[in-house]
Chains A and B, each alone.
Chain A
Amino acid sequence: MKFGVVRFPGSCDEVDAQLAAARVGEAVLLWHADRDLQGVDAVIVPGGFSYGDYLRAGAIARFAPVMDAVAEFARDGGLVLGICNGFQVCCEAGLLPGALLPNTGLRFVCRQVQLEVVNASTPFTAGCAEGERLSIPVKHTTGRYYAPAPLLDAMSERGQIVLRYAPGENPNGSIQDVAGVCNEAGNVFGLMPHPEHAVDALTGSADGLALFASMASAAGPRPLARA
């Protein structure tokens, strides 16, 4: 299992994401200006402030050459995980439904939150139980998930609401406490909380590891290279 973590100018969580993924597989960095995904089995679009988040968070990054390759990879069924800014980039790129808006409180929020697993049948949450609580930190200013009501209803029906903030834990005013969503096919998943910062009890929680481990199981062992 080989993860590729995208590095944009302004990314800041790509190394943590790489270290987290390296606990369950191999992990390499992918440069934003390259279209070559180096044969990875899964792509992580990490947190940070890609291209300074000018105009809107993620608006410029979606046009990076690497994102063409990531979109094609996703179309072919490859696993793509968007974390925080990576979630915003995936929404702007149309890989995920909805948009992320400024927090209701207009402030940067940095704290541990409790999440509830709504759908445990995705490749990203298969190692969790439905209704399970995960303790994972958030750190963002633009994390208020929004989708128009008809779209949100359809998503809910299709199981695309994967994670919600537990009651009373919503840090940003996200509609219906949505914390993480997937696409219709279920192979692209984005969330505002940072599972890569919750992979070791030393830093408060190892609950985030379940997401990386689920991805590794879903992608399966790498086939042996042919001679």
Chain B
Amino acid sequence: MRVRVLVRPKAGILDPQGQVVQRALPALGFEGVRNVHVGRLVELELDDPGQLPEMCERLLTNPLVEDYEVLGEDGAPLAQPAGDALR
């Protein structure tokens, strides 16, 4: 199956990329834009979706500073972190 893993900076952690984009938008005339965050998209095909949580927590994200969400082909969520991990 084909899935998309969305990786985002954890809430509350300074996201300078998001801030820069947020400041750049009004400069182009796009007003009223808030809460911009820049993350990462990993697309992959795999046989066993049961591997996704471990895959996400061991490699695709750093659970200390990033959250993730896995979306299936229809866009429905398949997996997300069980809880806050402290490493």
Known: A59-B62, A92-B62, A148-B86. A102 touches B16 (CB 8 A): yes
Known: A104-B16, A106-B17, A148-B86. A98 touches B64 (CB 8 A): yes
Q: Quote the shortest CB–CB distance from A146 to chain B (angstroms).
A: 6
Chain A's interface: helix, strand, loop or mixed, by majority?
loop
In the complex, what residues of B have CB within 8 A of residue A151's CB? 86
Q: Are B20 and A146 in contact (CB under 8 A)?
A: no
The contact of B65 among A94, A99, A105, by CB within 8 Å, is A99
In residues 24-70 of chain A, which contact B (Cβ within 8 Å)?
Answer: 55-56, 59, 63
Chain B's interface: helix, strand, loop or mixed, by majority?
loop
Q: Quote the shortest CB–CB distance from B45 to chain A (angstroms).
A: 18
* Interface 1/0 per residue, A99-127 and B, CB below 8 Å: 10111111000000000000000000000
In the complex, what residues of A have CB within 8 A of residue B64's CB? 98-99, 146-148
Give the distance in Å from the alpha carbon of A101 to the alpha carbon of B20 in the complex: 16
* Interface 1/0 per residue, B7-40 and A, CB below 8 Å: 0000001101100100000000000000000000
In the complex, what residues of B have CB within 8 A of residue A97's CB? 87
Q: Quote the shortest CB–CB distance from B19 to chain A (angstroms).
A: 9
- Given contact pairs A97-B87, A106-B20, a sample of 20 additional A-B residue pairs in the complex whose CB atoms are under 8 Å apart: A55-B59, A55-B60, A59-B59, A63-B59, A92-B62, A98-B64, A99-B62, A99-B64, A101-B14, A101-B65, A102-B16, A103-B16, A105-B16, A106-B17, A146-B13, A146-B65, A148-B64, A148-B86, A151-B86, A173-B14
